[in-house]
Structure 1
Amino acid sequence: MFRGNHPTRVDEKGRLKLPADFKRRIDEQYGSQFFITSKDGKVAEIYPLQEWEKVEQKLAQIPNMNPAKKKFLDRVNYYGQMVEMDAQGRVLLPQILRESAQVTGDVVVFGMQSYLEVANHEAFKQNMELNPMTAEDEQALAEFGL
């Protein structure tokens, strides 16, 4: 399971060096293949291939004519690419996603349980300030025992 936050950088070629804690977990549990995508173009989502295949299995159970499935697939395929981690532990973020999410230079990499999320550091901080946790959020989580 991926958890925590690791500030890092995306180099001028668009490569993200996976933070050591996350890379260790990847080496132990997964492999070098990833599907990198986004559902909104604001953050990059890095799925170890095995985790993305679980998403695909769930998608396969939804009828192809379902409009929500079509929207989801349109977005994740538009932003998405299969990538392989290189020997230095770097993955190449798709150019269209780097530009859309502004994930160049200083970024933050978050563990999101089964995948990693990469966000522009300043944009993420601004979003947290604009969208604070509310009492309604806390109540919704309490319904799940959190």
Structure 2
Amino acid sequence: MKSLNGEYKITLDDKGRLSLPTKIRTALEDNNHMLTKGPDGCIWLYPMEEWNKLMQKVRTSSSAFNSDFRALRRHLIGPAQDVEIDKAGRIAIPQTLREYAELIRDCIVLGQDDFVEIWNADRYRSYETESKEEYEIAYEKLGAALLREKDGE
């Protein structure tokens, strides 16, 4: 699979369909995908191969007797739905997921290497502003890790 990257402004149509950017459609290659709730109020779109890898990790990483694990499963797996890209390059986003992500019209499609995030455009702009300090810290940590790697630690 090609890397899924890029940030795109897209409009959701009146029937709840989102036209995927050509670069994203091309990178997805296959036609079957999984949509589910992501953290921070976005929707995740996974190619089926990547979804299956994630589900295998989820299955082996914890127990149904753990409350955090049950909550994660309910949020991630419970609402997940198969979607296909139609001949016009669109995916139909189920009503429950549109409501969760507050998708009404203006959306942001954001590539994340092996999956895609779909955001309400206003919510995404707010998230970027509110999380500025978090990602600056993450960049600092990444820089430190890269320096350690360069120095052979």
TM tier relative to shorter chain: 0.7 to 0.9
* Partners of 1:41 and 1:97 within 8 A in 2: no
Q: Aligned residue for 2:151?
A: none
Deviation per residue, 1:41-93 (Å, 9 max, x gap): 71011001111000011012123323322111100134321111111111111
* Partners of 1:43 and 1:101 within 8 A in 2: yes
* Partners of 1:34 and 1:48 within 8 A in 2: yes
Higher helix proportion (structure 1 or 2): 2
Larger Rg: 2
TM-score of the two chains, using structure 1 as the length reference:
0.88
Structure 1, unaligned runs of 5 or more: none
2:7 matches 1:5? yes
2:85 matches 1:85? yes
Q: What is the identity percentage for the equivalent residue pairs of Structure 1 and Structure 2?
A: 25
Q: Aligned residue for 1:113?
A: 113
Query: For residue 51 of structure 1, what is the amino acid of its counterpart?
Result: E
RMSD: 1.8
SS of aligned partner of 1:117 = strand
Q: Aligned residue for 2:67?
A: 67
The whole-number CA distance in structure 2 between the counterparts of 1:143 and 1:104 is 41
* Partners of 1:39 and 1:72 within 8 A in 2: no
- In structure 2, do the counterparts of structure 1 residues 109 and 39 end up closer, same or farther at CA, with 3 Å as the change threshold? closer
- In structure 2, do the counterparts of structure 1 residues 144 and 35 end up closer, same or farther at CA, with 3 Å as the change threshold? farther
Query: For residue 33 of structure 1, what is the amino acid of its counterpart?
Result: N
Structure 2, unaligned runs of 5 or more: 148-153
Q: Aligned residue for 2:150?
A: none
- In structure 2, do the counterparts of structure 1 residues 144 and 91 end up closer, same or farther at CA, with 3 Å as the change threshold? farther
Query: For residue 79 of structure 1, what is the amino acid of its counterpart?
Result: P
